[in-house]
Every structure is written in structure tokens, then in C-alpha cells.
Amino acid sequence: MPATHATQIAFFQRARGLVETLAWLRLCAIAGQTATIVVVTRLLRLPVPVVPLMLGVGALVTFAVFAFWRLTLPRPVSLAEGFAHVSVDILVLTYLLYWTGGVENPFVTLLVIPMALAAAALSMRYVAAVAVLASICFALLVPWHQPLPPLHVARIAEADLREIAIAVNFVVIAGVLAFFSARLANALRAREAEVRRQRESTLRNEGILAIATQAAGTAHELNTPLSTIRTLLGELQRERGNDTALAGDLALLVGQAERCRDILRKLVAVGNRGLNDLPEQLTLAAFVEACGDQIRLLRPEIALRIAFTGNAGEQVIAAAPDLGHALVNLLSNAGDASQAAGSAAVELRISVDGGDAVFAVRDHGSGVVPRLGAGFRTGKQHGLGLGLALAHSTAERLGGGLAAHTAEDGGLVQRLRVPLLGNDNSAP
């Protein structure tokens, strides 16, 4: 089965991470190999083949320059390319070991490092290929290699010098493996956290989709009884229009029926725009004014104060209908929190941060930060727990986010962030 687009992106990221890691390790290897050659030839005065060894180090320097140049290109790094970089390092190390004793060299175990790094980033078939290549190189070094010169020097026995080399080799391998194993573990934990977040988001969106589907079906079913109610109310008004006591109640019922009809029509219009992927384009001032009018109609007891920062009101936003519902839900929740603390004040401040519009909703309640994205939970006695979940889901779907923090002088501030029209992440 072909890999999905997301899987391919993950492979590209892992391969690029491997190539970057090898590039920096290659610089360390070049420095270490050069220093080793200098120490062996100048201080220990051992007759090692300097020219072949420097040719190998020079080849590694050339490839290191190429690797850093390659990382500057925008083209993704494939798994095959990552395998090629690992292979070059194994082959150059094998060449250097050939001139320095082969398997008798204590540093032969450095062949393990490329295999360990490949196992952390490449797919199984490339890891197997790296293991086979390293094993073949090791096997070839057994019969074919240039023997090491006598290792004993003044005041240092041959056994002591070999033990020093083994100790240095162990420190190098342990340090590299410990460092990159820790990096790998951190990356895995970050990936698991992202997977959990995506799973929670998916479950929440599935629940919201089910609710939306049920709401659409309910709206369709309500159209017929609502039409019947409006017809009967009209007849009652004609028949009992002279009844003063009843006329006011009938007028109120007619007004409520008309409002229900307008809500259903708006719901149909929202669905049509959603299907056609055509969100309404409004300035932030017009959008906020419409939301303010709606919250004042629904919650007249709330004392809403609106303020714009700079020229934020002139900015244009792709006002998807659910964005308006999200903001109204946040304002309504803020009103409930303020009223629970004996206040009716709710503040809405609109600002622009980069390419995003930020709606900061401030209440004067207890300041308890809600758990965003944790499902349909509510702390209100008669709440359904949908408002905050819908707002969070809407913000994520539009390419933004929802965050909350406690205000310094009490209360809670919830920041709804969505891209402005024309921003790369904005909804179409």
C-alpha cells in the first residue's frame, strides 16, 4: 500500500534529521582523526602511513562540504539519500581502518555508530542495508589490512597504549550514543504527545460532526411544525385580535416564531456557504458588531464593553459562520462566570498580531482556567459543555487556536486567534 502524504513528510523529516546529525558528527570525526594523526606521528613518532590517511580525511572533508551545501537546498532529503550519507561514512572509516590495523585497531567498533543512527531514522530495509554494508566492511578488514607498527614508545608500554585507545574509543561511542539516544527519546515523546493531541482533536471533531448532523436533521424536521405554528398564530390573531389580554401574548408568540424561522433560514444559508466553501468577508469592526448585537439580544443582562487596538477594526477577516458562534459562546461563558462572582461586566478587546486577529474575552469571575480540548465538559450546573469545545474546534479548523490564562487583577482571559484574510493560513 503506498505511503500517505503525511507518512512521506515524516520520512523526509527523519532523513533530513539524520543527514544533519551526520554532517555535524562528520566535522567532529574530521577533527578527531586529524588530531589523532598529529599525536601519533608527532608525539608518539609511530611510523603510520600519513599520506593515505590524510587522503581519507581529505575525502571526508570534501563530502562534509557537499553535505552542508546539500542541506541548503529546498529539495526534501529522501531515505535513499540518508542511506547514501551513512554509506559514505562507513566506507571512509573502513578505508582509514585498513591503513591502521583493520580489526586489530581498537577504534574498529566505531562502525557501530552509523548503524545506530540509521536505525533511529531510516526504514527497516535501509537499516538492514546499512547493517549488511557495515558487516561486509568489518569482514573484509579481517584478512585485508595494513598491520599496525609497534605501539610501544618511550615510557609507554604497548599494552598500556592499547588500553588508552580502547578507553578513548569507549568514551567516544558512549558519548555519541547517549547524546543521540536522549535526542531520539525526546523526539519520540514529542511525537507521542502530538499523536495524543491529534487523537483528542479527532474525537472532539467527530463528536461535533455528529451534533452538527443531528442539528441539521432537526432543523429540517422543525420547518414543517414551525410553518404550522405560524399559520395557526396568524389565524388566532385574526380571530382574537380584539381580545386585549390575549393580543400581547399572541404578538410575542408570533415574534418568537418569526425568530425561529430566521434562525432556520440562517442555518440553511450557513450550510450552503459551507458547502460552497465561501465564507463571508467582513471587517473586524463589522464582524464584532454583529456578534455584539447577537450577545446583547441573547444576554441583555451582560454589560459588554468592546475595544479595538490600533486599526484592528479595519482589517478584513474570512468570517466563517461558526467563528461568530465561537465568539458568542465565549462571551456568553464569560458572562456566566462574571455573574457567578456578582458582576455583569465582560470585556472584548480585538487586536492584530502578525497575520492573525486576536479576540481577548475577559470576565470577572473566579479565574479558573478551563481544560481546552478535553471533551464536552462544563463547570456550570445547567451547561452542556459544548460552547468551549466548539470554540476550540472552530479555532483549530480555521488555522488558529484558543488559549486561556488568569488575569493579573482577577478573572479569566480567553484569547481566540484566527488568521486574517490573505494570510497563508487563513480559511479560503
Quick one: pLDDT at residue 278?
A: 53
Please give the pLDDT value at position 384.
39
pLDDT at 260: 78
Q: Which of 398, 402, 397 is nearest to 417 (CA)?
A: 402
The predicted structure's pLDDT at residue 86: 92
One pLDDT digit (tens) per residue for the chain, 428 residues: 344 555 666 667 777 878 888 888 888 889 988 988 888 888 777 788 889 999 999 999 999 999 999 989 888 888 889 899 999 999 999 999 999 888 888 888 888 888 888 887 788 899 999 999 999 999 999 999 888 776 555 455 555 667 777 787 788 777 777 777 676 667 667 767 776 777 766 666 666 556 556 666 666 667 777 778 878 877 787 777 677 777 777 777 877 777 777 777 766 665 555 545 456 688 888 888 988 888 887 788 888 999 999 888 888 887 666 788 788 888 888 888 888 888 888 999 999 988 889 999 999 887 777 655 444 444 454 443 466 777 777 777 778 888 888 888 788 889 999 888 765 444 44
pLDDT at 184: 63
In Å, what is the CA distance from 408 to each residue of 308, 318, 342, 353, 366?
21, 32, 19, 21, 12
Count CB-CB contacts under 10 A for residue 276. Answer: 8
Burial of 262 (0-12, 13-18, 19+ CB in 10 A): exposed
Give the model's pLDDT for residue 311.
87
* Surface-to-core class of residue 375, CB atoms within 10 Å of its CB (0-12 exposed, 13-18 middle, 19+ buried): exposed
What pLDDT was estimated at residue 387?
Answer: 67
pLDDT of residue 420: 84
Please report the pLDDT score of residue 377 as a whole number: 47
